[in-house]
Structure 1
């Protein structure tokens, strides 16, 4: 029987009590890069009694929106593609749906076509000032299981901020008090001169990170590559396989002396395997996009509870010939070289570079998930985002912990997300979007190159 998911009702949830209203400044990192909504799904096992599920979730949501009041606001455009965050308590969109199937029909929770019906639909045809910054959807299955999914605008917060919100919401749903109050002062990211409103230059070359990534040799744009059929699939690396990759990468003296991390080794392995599968010419340039959390790189470090974006995308660069002919340690070293660039001064410099630009729209990804015009990591490039250190699992809203969590569908060529499996065994799960024509070769290299 084909699974059907039917929406029952959609409504707005607003903060329980009135909060401050006005315009909240956004940082350069809130307004550039991906400013669309990022979907995440939590899967919960069948329960005998789900009475009060929606009432409990909406009641606790209205209470957590009091300290997290910007989440209930709306964005507005300003001059030059800048954005303003209007804190107006307009509310969070909440949808309740039901399914005639069982949650066990989703198998090992590998992303499938049904995922699109499990996450809230964001209508990007609406003006930006009408779009909720957070949309929530609950789907109750016939078996008694349910999914709880969120789509939060990246313009108001990155992964750590989104998970901070979700964990505090779960605490309130369990009847517990707020643990870590959020704060929204963007000055913690600014240079000392910037905090005083002075024009200060730290220009050390960050503008190269805002340039377009390499194209395939002989091509002038990426249009044809974007049109090719792409699929999303899930791979798992056991702890022993991850350890094997770390051993291989660290056979050569690591850059800066510190052993290469799980991320550097797994991302380097995937970069090499994707490049092999695509069969590049040796002189083809390729990049791997790395998302670096710079909270602890600032002076002083950004304190616990900061709600906003504190991440910066940088690129590891190589020639394809070097990448596939040299060891995994070479790939890991290129990734570390990119990460090491992100210092406090570099963040200030990159922010200053952006402030000088008259038009920020060229630095913004405004495309919804699934669009062929979306962010292009694709051939010859790749992006690997890490959720390995984020507290994603263990969200108990009063009905026990989830059995699995995953991002919503994202099928962009080369777009990769890695995160820890929920079983605590050290297994790493990788979700990768790749052109169908390269899939078999990638799988072959992915497993062979671990041995």
Structure 2
């Protein structure tokens, strides 16, 4: 194993003032693994990575407090870049992620430690596998930005490796002020964030210490024909997206799995760039949560219709980023450090689903090889966090969610599994990999 600290060869030093979305996600790190069916040159990857950092210096930065506000100091402090070898094959490596034992493929950023300036905001691990395949584990602190931000950086890395021009990101040094100037004046009437109480903090800390490591990852695969049948069944009264129907389909099953739970709040991460006409190259957490009430016994069609209605009216009625920032500015530094989304509930978990589709994950290419599989590593210390991502080679959708053991067992029961797969036909073209890892 070898590790080097990579910094940009040259860059302007500056600070980024974080916005409310960055603060609310300031204890969270994101881990994702890309698989390539060929050996990749570690030194060439490292050199291209350093070049990409010249355009995206925040990935090599550190978090600091200045003037009572959280900031990212972009001074080229560096990104740990590790290269290791493994005797496992690419298929064995993918299986280990789905079985909650794939942590060896990443060098995880510690979200809580990095939040207080004591660690890097990004780490990379390149694993050379036994069958001449390569896995790239990419871990980044959520304060840097959302998945669209991460994909802009990864695309810049790939472009640098191929000797192609790098796209210029839009970097706002004061993210809060930028959004205040560019978002519509109207929007949500109530803030979508709140401050945790002391009892909630204690309960959350206890859960992270005792129970978070016991969580299991639910993995479901939905093929393209299967999703088309869902859209036909649920969308007879309005046009629904694949994201609408899969979120509703799984939510209905979640509400059926535990007879003791009658209500939950489904939080869906919404990319505000798309909904409010912001520059797609804007870097940061330009996302907010759209809350949808879930009731036991409600049909998936009804849930899907309500999701679509809320998304369609998002810009006018649900965009809460400006009012959330006003809330954060009013509560001050110390209470602001306890800022979370209103749907967060340490007593009874609520599902939070983020959509990673449409970012061109399977167009990521190094040394002529495209990524053949991409998966998150969900070692997140909170239950109910779900990710929707394209399946292998961009076919179908994979849904993954962290669940406590009791809820995982309930969602894995034969009755719920049958409910979840009721739109699947025996002759559907499901890739063998997904049959193996998702059932």
TM range (shorter): 0.7 to 0.9
Alpha-carbon separation, structure 2, partners of 1:79 and 1:279 = 49
**Are 1:132 and 2:120 matched, yes or no?**
yes
The equivalent of 1:316 in structure 2 is 292
The equivalent of 2:229 in structure 1 is 244
Instruction: Output aligned runs, 1:384-403, within 5 Å.
Output: 384-403=353-372
Q: CA deviation at 1:57?
A: 1.0
**Are 1:354 and 2:328 matched, yes or no?**
yes
Q: CA deviation at 1:125?
A: 4.9
Unpaired stretches in structure 1, ≥5 consecutive residues = 1-7, 195-200, 213-220, 366-374
**Are 1:267 and 2:247 matched, yes or no?**
yes
Instruction: Output aligned runs, 1:125-164, within 5 Å.
Output: 125=113, 128-164=116-152
More helix by share: 2
User: Contact (CA 8 Å) 1:376, 1:413: kept in 2 or not?
Assistant: no
**Are 1:290 and 2:268 matched, yes or no?**
yes
Q: CA deviation at 1:24?
A: 2.1
**Are 1:307 and 2:277 matched, yes or no?**
no
The equivalent of 1:45 in structure 2 is 37
The equivalent of 1:104 in structure 2 is 91
Q: CA deviation at 1:74?
A: 0.7
Alpha-carbon separation, structure 1, partners of 2:190 and 2:228 = 34
Partner of 1:245, secondary structure, is helix
Partner of 2:412, secondary structure, is helix
The equivalent of 1:30 in structure 2 is 22
Match 1:10 to one of 3, 6, 11: 3
Alpha-carbon separation, structure 2, partners of 1:23 and 1:351 = 19
For these two proteins, the number of residue pairs brought into alignment is 402
Q: CA deviation at 1:191?
A: 3.6
The equivalent of 2:315 in structure 1 is 343
Q: CA deviation at 1:164?
A: 0.4
Q: CA deviation at 1:72?
A: 1.5
Match 1:93 to one of 66, 80, 93: 80
User: Contact (CA 8 Å) 1:291, 1:313: kept in 2 or not?
Assistant: yes
The equivalent of 1:217 in structure 2 is none
Alpha-carbon separation, structure 1, partners of 2:120 and 2:136 = 17
Bigger Cα displacement from structure 2, 351-360 vs 262-271:
351-360
Partner of 1:423, secondary structure, is helix
TM-score in terms of structure 1 length: 0.80
> Greater Rg, structure 1 or structure 2?
1
The equivalent of 2:62 in structure 1 is 74
User: Contact (CA 8 Å) 2:109, 2:121: kept in 1 or not?
Assistant: no
The equivalent of 2:302 in structure 1 is 330
Cα-to-partner distance string for 1:213-245 (whole Å, 9 max, x where unaligned): xxxxxxxx7878984953113211111110111
Unpaired stretches in structure 2, ≥5 consecutive residues = 197-202, 426-439
Alpha-carbon separation, structure 1, partners of 2:248 and 2:115 = 40
Aligned residues: CA RMSD: 3.1
**Are 1:207 and 2:207 matched, yes or no?**
no
Alpha-carbon separation, structure 2, partners of 1:271 and 1:237 = 15
The equivalent of 1:5 in structure 2 is none
User: Contact (CA 8 Å) 1:191, 1:348: kept in 2 or not?
Assistant: no
The equivalent of 1:371 in structure 2 is none
User: Contact (CA 8 Å) 1:316, 1:337: kept in 2 or not?
Assistant: no
- Closer, same or farther: CA 203–312 of 1 in aligned 2, 3 Å: closer
- Closer, same or farther: CA 304–336 of 1 in aligned 2, 3 Å: closer
The equivalent of 1:197 in structure 2 is none
TM-score in terms of structure 2 length: 0.82
Q: CA deviation at 1:70?
A: 2.1
Bigger Cα displacement from structure 2, 402-411 vs 242-251:
402-411
Alpha-carbon separation, structure 1, partners of 2:37 and 2:153 = 23
Q: CA deviation at 1:33?
A: 2.9
